[in-house]
């Protein structure tokens, strides 16, 4: 016995798929009306909170109540914080350069292209990445050591991400820093503390689903996919391509790790070894 109600979990997966499709269609309509597809970034965090809440409601009577509440709360806290942060950061700005570059590749109707490549793609990604949230909620097994380790990892990731975002926002608010590269605090140890924190959060949530080998195997796609998105997908790679021509960025990249935190290299060592 795996302790997982697979029939009820299957229904949950279907309900969450419909919910994500509907939510991102609404987001698409808002984006078209406003002429800004960057609103999907706010919807991204909110969508995980929706999946967590819907799963918590549907899993009542099917999984351990402590695990259900813990995974729902942890996911919602992470998603809502991220959505609020992005909403504040993007207020008053135009289209995100990443989406402008992506839509410039459209052959034919840009609106339909945006629907496929931005909004519906993110709906699918939310559903896939949220697999640990859904699987963990249908396990009848009580919380144990893997869950406690998972929550420790989640807390570390959330803290790393939130502190990094706060440090960057405070740096940008100072007019004296206009045009300069943020290389202080956590940003001296990794060029992407927010992305590294995100990765830890999802590896932590994955451990909450490790109640038996079957749900653990099913949910493994989530942290792997999230980590790949952050490092070689639409996260780190595209952002660094956008930042490459900024004065001082090459020197910063040479002395600072690209993802995993570590002490910054000294200037001479950075010149010899290149980026981390």
Angle between the 65-90 and 145-173 helix axes, to the nearest 10 degrees?
10
Predicted confidence at residue 275, as pLDDT, reads 42
- What residue spans define the domains of the chain? 6-273
Tens place of pLDDT for every residue, the chain, 276 residues? 458 899 999 999 999 999 999 999 999 999 999 999 999 999 999 999 999 999 999 999 999 999 999 999 999 999 999 999 999 999 988 988 888 888 888 888 999 999 999 999 999 999 999 999 999 999 999 999 999 999 999 999 999 999 999 999 999 999 999 889 999 999 999 999 999 999 999 999 999 999 999 999 999 999 999 999 999 988 888 888 888 888 899 999 999 999 999 999 876 444 444 444
Instruction: Provide the pLDDT for residue 268.
Output: 43
| Among candidate residues 150, 259, 135, 262, the one with its CA nearest the CA of residue 202 | 150
Cα 145 from chain centre: 25
pTM (2 d.p.):
0.92
CA 36 to chain CA mean position, Å: 20
Query: How far apart are the C-alpha atoms of 89 and 83, rounded to whole Å?
Result: 10
Instruction: Tell me the H-state helices in 192-248.
Output: 193-208, 213-219, 221-231, 236-243
């Amino acid at each position: 016995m795996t302790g997982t109600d697979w029939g009820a979990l299957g229904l949950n997966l279907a309900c969450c798929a419909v919910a994500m499709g509907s939510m991102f269609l609404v987001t698409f309509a808002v984006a078209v009306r406003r002429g800004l597809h960057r609103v999907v970034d706010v919807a991204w965090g909110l969508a995980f909170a929706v999946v967590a809440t819907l799963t918590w409601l549907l899993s009542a009577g099917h999984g351990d109540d402590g695990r259900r509440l813990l995974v729902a709360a942890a996911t919602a806290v992470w998603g809502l914080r991220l959505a609020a942060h992005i909403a504040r950061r993007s207020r008053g700005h135009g289209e995100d350069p990443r989406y402008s570059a992506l839509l410039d590749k459209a052959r034919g109707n840009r609106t339909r292209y945006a629907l496929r490549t931005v909004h519906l793609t993110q709906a699918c990604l939310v559903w896939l990445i949220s697999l640990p949230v859904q699987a963990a909620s249908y396990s009848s097994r009580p919380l144990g050591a893997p869950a406690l380790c998972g929550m420790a990892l989640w807390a570390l990731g959330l803290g790393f991400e939130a502190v990094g975002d706060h440090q960057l926002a405070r740096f940008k608010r100072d007019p004296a820093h206009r045009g300069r590269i943020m290389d202080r605090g956590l940003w001296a140890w990794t060029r992407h503390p927010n992305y590294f924190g995100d990765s830890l959060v999802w590896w932590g949530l994955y451990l909450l689903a490790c109640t038996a080998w079957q749900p653990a195997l099913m949910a493994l796609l989530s942290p792997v996919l999230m980590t790949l998105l952050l490092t070689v997908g639409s996260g780190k790679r595209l952002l660094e391509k956008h930042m490459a021509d900024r004065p001082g960025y090459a020197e910063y990249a040479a002395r600072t790790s690209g993802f995993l935190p570590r002490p910054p290299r000294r200037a001479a060592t950075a010149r010899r070894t290149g980026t981390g």
